[in-house]
Amino acid sequence: MAEDLIDFSVPLGPVSVSINGLLRKLFVRKAQSPSDIVAERFLVLFGAHGVAVSQIPRLLPQVGLDHLNSRDSLLGALTNDVLDETGKLFGVEREWLDGVSDRLYASRTIYKRPVNLFRDLATLKRDDDWFPVRVLYCTNELNAADNRSQPLVLLLAERIAEFGDEEIMKYRVYSDTWDWSYGPARVQLKAMARLAFLALDCPVPLYRVGSGIMDRIMDGKAVPRSYLTGSPLTNPSLEDFALTVEESGQAKECEELPTVLQYIRETKLDEAAARTVSQQKGEDS
């Protein structure tokens, strides 16, 4: 069933009913063939991103409502071009859609390469409510003085559509094993968060999740949407750990800020952030 293919067990309201109902109708009465797995993953992928069955044609006009009435009609609509476009739409690997891999997202790393975060940000379309960088963590709180493991996952979220009040996002998940208790990783995270906030005017919200969920997302095996819940204006946000008390009323761990600023100077990360701003302004004009 769908829950075995993707982390789709979290209730998604009417979207969950829509997708799961269609899956039961089309597939549970017959033994699954390889083509059935492709069709099932296609449907589950839309549901996991908050897209109801009836909304699929709004994102993929090649797949009409008539294609969603039967197993055979859906299979006939899933051409190579449609599957390629679906993968690009949500930023997932074609191999996952083909049923030959359990990893949705390509492996991306930016540890010791912080400039790559800003290169990725430069490719995103800026909108009015811009929270492209998001962080998952699973401890009670982030604390540089605590030597126990404090893992985090960094990801990018990009709006691709808006259906009423529902935002449809695509994600890029970084597979680096970040640990707040490890100084070099923590300083890099703080530097990136500081510049994302000050140069690009984008806060970096923190979302607390279970360790098992975080591992699945870091491994590229779950869509993050269901776990990025609530307001993106979190308290604290990641940038609060890299700002002065004058810059943030929620400033934390200010004693490490000189090390963070030195890291920015040595890596010339501020120049990378400035280039990102310049590229985005060029796109807007």
- The predicted structure's pLDDT at residue 31: 59
Q: What is the pTM for the complete model shown?
A: 0.88
- The predicted structure's pLDDT at residue 183: 98
Of 215 and 7, which is predicted with more confidence? Answer: 215
- The predicted structure's pLDDT at residue 182: 98
- The predicted structure's pLDDT at residue 271: 95
Average pLDDT, integer, range 61-84: 94
> Are the C-beta atoms of residues 256 and 190 closer than 8 Å to each other?
yes
Whether 221 shows a pLDDT value over 50: the answer reads yes
Beta strands at 166-173 and 151-163: parallel, antiparallel or unpaired: antiparallel
The 10s digit of each residue's pLDDT in 222-246 is: 999 999 988 999 999 999 999 999 9
Which residues are bridge partners to 154 per DSSP?
Answer: 135
Average pLDDT, integer, range 34-62: 93
Q: How confident is the model at residue 14 (pLDDT cuts 50, 70, 90)?
A: low
Q: How confident is the model at residue 194 (pLDDT cuts 50, 70, 90)?
A: very high
Average pLDDT, integer, range 84-91: 98
